[in-house]
């Protein structure tokens, strides 16, 4: 059976299980592994690719069977799983490219400490849902049981730490442009720190949860 047919069957089986159930989680994990093995995900050598890929996997977990953060859930009659994921991944990459280009031609205005009205929307979280991979990631980041995330921060800026940035980049994610304004730091500084310090820790947790 071709990989796309296997994926289609897995999706049908996975979505029969209730959101947050063990059966649903096992199905999502099986799909993740098969997609990774397929080699069909879009690849490109950009500094922000891993960030975009992470956002794509979170989007996948939340919208495969139900539309939680998207306007509509995945429709197997419209496209294959990998085509659906690649479309989102490419949009995220394009957004990040645009943000990077905008940063080159514009000077980010200084934002006063009060940030009145600027971060209120950014900090809104999605409605509480039954346990899912994304929600477990969010809970782990917010609790930071080992305090490791809070200790990792941009040089001379303990307020811009791994815990804060990961929370900001979880769906509904804040753009790099808005974060640049909020923290009065260049996009390149924030993105570089996120790639170098945040993603490796996040990936470790994600891998452990996916295996579990």
Predicted local distance difference test score (pLDDT) of residue 108: 40
Q: Are 119 and 90 in contact (CB under 8 A)?
A: no
**CA angle centred on 164, ends 161 and 166, rounded to 5°:** 100
Predicted local distance difference test score (pLDDT) of residue 129: 38
Place of tokens 């959101």: 19
Q: Provide the token pair at 208.
A: 């452990």
Predicted local distance difference test score (pLDDT) of residue 106: 47
Predicted local distance difference test score (pLDDT) of residue 212: 52
**CA angle centred on 127, ends 125 and 130, rounded to 5°:** 120
Output Rg (C-alpha) for the chain, integer angstroms. 18
Q: How confident is the chain (212 residues) per 10-residue block, as mean pLDDT?
A: 86 92 90 89 85 88 88 89 92 80 50 40 38 75 89 90 89 82 88 85 71 51
Place of tokens 């996120």: 194
In 3D space, the residue among 28, 25, 60, 26 whose CA is nearest the CA of residue 41 turns out to be: 60
Q: Are 52 and 154 in contact (CB under 8 A)?
A: no
Q: Give strand ranges (E) for the chain.
A: 153-154, 157-161
Cα–Cα distance between 202 and 54 in angstroms, integer? 9
pTM for the model stands at 0.53
């Amino acid at each position: 059976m071709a990989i796309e047919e296997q994926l289609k069957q897995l999706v049908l089986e996975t979505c029969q299980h209730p959101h947050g159930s063990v059966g649903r989680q096992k199905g999502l994990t099986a799909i993740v592994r098969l997609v990774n093995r397929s080699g069909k995900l879009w690849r490109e050598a950009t500094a922000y690719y891993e960030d975009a890929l992470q956002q794509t996997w979170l989007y996948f977990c939340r919208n495969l069977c139900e539309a939680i953060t998207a306007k509509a859930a995945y429709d197997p009659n419209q496209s294959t799983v990998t085509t659906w994921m690649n479309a989102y991944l490419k949009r995220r990459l394009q957004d990040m490219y645009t943000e990077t280009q905008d940063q080159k031609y514009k000077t980010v205005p200084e934002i006063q400490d009060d940030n009145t009205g600027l971060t209120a929307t950014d900090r809104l979280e999605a409605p509480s849902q039954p346990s899912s991979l994304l929600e477990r990631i969010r809970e782990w980041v917010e609790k930071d049981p080992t305090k490791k995330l809070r200790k990792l921060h941009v040089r001379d800026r303990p307020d811009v730490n791994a815990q804060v940035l990961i929370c900001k980049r979880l769906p509904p994610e804040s753009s790099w442009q808005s974060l640049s304004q909020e923290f009065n730091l260049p996009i390149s500084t924030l993105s570089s720190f996120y790639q170098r310090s945040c993603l490796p820790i996040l990936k470790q947790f994600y891998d452990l949860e996916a295996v579990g």
